[in-house]
Amino acid sequence: MDIGAVGDAVILGITEGLTEFLPVSSTGHILLLGHFLGFQSTARSFEVLIQLGAILAILIVYFGRLWRIFVTLPTSARSRRFTAGILLAFLPAAFVGVLAHDFIKTILFETPMVICVALIVGGILLLVIDRMPRVVRYDDVMDYPLSLCLKIGIFQCLAMIPGTSRSGATIAGSLLMGTDKRSAAEFSFFLAMPTMLGAFTYDLAKNRDLLSPDDIELIVIGFVMAFISALFVVRHLLDFVSRHGFAVFAWWRIGVGLLGMVLLLVLPEQPDTQAPEPQAAALSQPAAVDASADR
């Protein structure tokens, strides 16, 4: 295996884990970084499949709480409402992602300038929303009504555009509808689990025959790096958001988007040195329930 590709997989995996649960667009970051590194994955499956590493970090950190919710489902209306709310919020992205997967993977994933614009616009909107005066009506994810969960799920569909950010879209939507900052981020954590698991399963089922042993090794490396780096973010993000809000992430998005635009304009086009063979590409049907996010 090319040692350069291994190094790229390590860098991209760490980037995925650090950014998946921040409202900065993990997919936008790894697609832009991959573009400038000259990294091309088969059917863009690497960028989707390594996200499950970050989700594994959520499962470990929240295992105790998730287990309590699971065992109390038969007896607790609150647990049942929370579970139904997460599943309801997942459905819009699942529906739109299946319908639009070809366009997402073959057009949006391959247009770095769109990603830069989405990063900047999303950063500006997040900055405005973070500073808006709000009346908090919901401060516990366990008490979110089903109608609110569905609306947050509709906001998540905006993350089909790479650079928008799955967590950014869900957090912004939550804040606009009266949640506090901490519970908005926490709901985004929980919603990531079915969303990213769905993206992983769908993409793997569609593209497994196209993946070579080298592709699989790179995905495993990225998966492990994403898991390790995401553990740090999951353990500390809620406390940070409670104290400082989302402004720092908004400015980061704007800075990365502007830097990406400059580099795209001044640097020569990267050759597709690792692109799949034309015949394989023709057979590919790229797929993802792609509200990844951290889009």
Residue type, 256: V
Closest CA to 27 of 162, 158, 166: 162
Residues 290, 96: Cα–Cα separation, whole Å: 9
Please tell me the distance from the alpha carbon of residue 117 to that of residue 149, in angstroms, as a whole number.
28
The reported pLDDT for the residue numbered 271 is 54
* pTM of the entire predicted model: 0.84
* pLDDT at residue 44 in the model: 86
Query: Which of 33, 4, 20 has its CA nearest to residue 234?
Result: 20
Share of the chain above pLDDT 90, in %: 66
Condensed to tens digits (0 to 9), the pLDDT of residues 33-51 reads 999 999 988 888 999 999 9
Q: What is the phi/psi pair of residue 132, to 5°?
A: -70, 140
pLDDT per position as a tens digit, 5-33: 999 999 999 999 999 889 999 999 999 99
28 neighbors 46 (Cβ within 8 angstroms): no
Numbers of helices and strands, H then E, in the chain: 13, 0
Could you tell me which of 189, 185, 160 has the C-alpha nearest to residue 173? Answer: 185
Question: Whose CA is closest to 288, among 191, 219, 204, 226?
Answer: 204
Q: Which two tokens stand for residue 95?
A: 């529906």
224's CB contacts (< 8 A; 6+ apart) are 13, 53
- Encode the chain (295 residues) as per-residue pLDDT tens digits: 688 899 999 999 999 999 988 999 999 999 999 999 999 888 889 999 999 999 899 899 899 999 999 999 999 999 999 999 999 999 999 999 888 888 888 888 889 999 999 999 999 999 999 888 888 999 999 999 999 999 999 999 999 999 999 999 999 999 999 999 999 999 999 999 999 999 899 888 888 899 999 999 999 999 999 999 999 898 888 888 878 889 999 999 999 999 999 999 998 765 544 444 444 444 444 444 444 445 5
